[in-house]
């Protein structure tokens, strides 16, 4: 038996049980090697449909097809053996009806072996959250700024700055919690509202640009690594990976042009695996 097989993977109920405890740590991940690196530090990895923008150069998440999410989902479940892997259902794959959502979410779970899926929307998706949860599919919800509705919002703006906006967002949180979601992402929600919702619902709130008041945090991995060309103001860059990549590529180009690489004595045998 491999050492990986002995590790117990974190489950959706484990994440739910963390409500009000030590903050939940999560990141997006789209590929096997970075998933393997992040695995021991995070509680869950989200294969976000932001991969359409980050990996594939789309302007929004709307063009991302189900098949692309499945391919990246598979890569991440192969790379991460401990963290819960949650995969985003892309635009158009779940909104039509609970039956459409179940068909596509079941395919996602069978083909990626992920432990949960995420859908955007509050009150309007509550029936679907209940339908999926009752049929074996753990659902993470996503409210506040929901990027798949960017054409309705008219841009990436903080939600809940005005008191008049609060009731609808609070109702969204309550509806999906009552429907059985195991956690909810609050994106770009103003701090006092994020704090109020976190107190009101009995499932963990995972903030992205929604303040310290949430039960946990998520960031797009490329943003916190310093790889994304443009990031929102709340993002802290914990690394300078973009600069490191450019530095390495320029050294490689210099070595090839100067005929310093490859060194003649080196063979194609593998070096020892990194710890």
**Residues found near ligand KIV in the complex (CB under 6 A):** 28, 46, 48-50, 88, 142, 185, 208, 218, 220
Cβ-based nearer residue to ligand KIV, 205 or 252:
205
Cβ-based nearer residue to ligand KIV, 48 or 115:
48
The token pair that represents 183 in the structure block: 């956690």
Q: How far out from the chain centre does Cα 65 lie?
A: 16
Q: How far is the CB of 224 from ligand KIV (least distance, A)?
A: 12
Q: How far is the CB of 128 from ligand KIV (least distance, A)?
A: 17
Residue closest to ligand KIV, measured at CB: 48
Cβ-based nearer residue to ligand KIV, 49 or 170:
49
Residue 152: which residues within 8 A CB-CB, separation 6 or more? Answer: none
Q: Closest by alpha carbon to 149, among 160, 159, 138? A: 159
Give the residue numbers annotated as catalytic, written as ranges.
187
Q: How far is the CB of 106 from ligand KIV (least distance, A)?
A: 21
Residue 174 sits at the vertex; the CA angle it makes with 170 and 180, to the nearest 5 degrees, is 150
Q: Closest by alpha carbon to 166, among 142, 141, 183, 143? A: 143
Cβ-based nearer residue to ligand KIV, 137 or 214:
214
Q: How far is the CB of 65 from ligand KIV (least distance, A)?
A: 15
Q: How far is the CB of 220 from ligand KIV (least distance, A)?
A: 5
Cβ-based nearer residue to ligand KIV, 76 or 264:
76
């Amino acid at each position: 038996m491999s050492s990986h097989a002995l590790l117990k993977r974190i489950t959706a109920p484990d994440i739910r049980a963390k409500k009000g405890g030590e903050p939940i740590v999560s990141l997006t991940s789209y590929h096997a090697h970075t998933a393997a690196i992040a695995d021991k530090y995070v509680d869950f990895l989200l294969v976000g449909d932001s991969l359409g923008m980050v990996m594939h150069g789309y302007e929004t998440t709307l063009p991302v097809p189900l098949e692309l999410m499945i391919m990246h989902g598979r890569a991440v479940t192969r790379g991460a053996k401990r963290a819960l892997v949650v995969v985003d259902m892309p635009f158009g794959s779940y909104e039509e009806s609970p039956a459409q959502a179940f068909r596509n979410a079941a395919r996602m779970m069978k083909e990626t072996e992920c432990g949960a899926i995420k859908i955007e929307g509050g009150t309007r998706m509550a029936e679907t959250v209940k339908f999926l949860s009752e049929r074996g599919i753990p659902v993470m919800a996503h409210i506040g700024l929901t990027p798949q509705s960017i054409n309705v919002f008219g841009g990436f703006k903080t939600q809940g700055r005005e008191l008049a906006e609060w009731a609808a967002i609070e109702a969204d949180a309550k509806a999906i919690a009552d429907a059985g979601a195991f956690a909810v992402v609050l994106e770009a929600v103003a701090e006092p509202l994020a704090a109020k919702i976190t107190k009101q619902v009995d499932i963990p709130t995972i903030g992205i640009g929604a303040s310290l008041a949430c039960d946990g945090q998520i960031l797009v991995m490329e943003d916190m690594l310093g790889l994304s060309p443009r990031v929102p103001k709340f993002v802290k860059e914990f690394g300078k990976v973009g600069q490191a990549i450019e530095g390495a590529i320029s050294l490689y180009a210099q070595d090839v042009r100067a005929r310093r690489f490859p060194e003649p004595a080196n063979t194609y045998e593998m070096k020892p695996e990194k710890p």
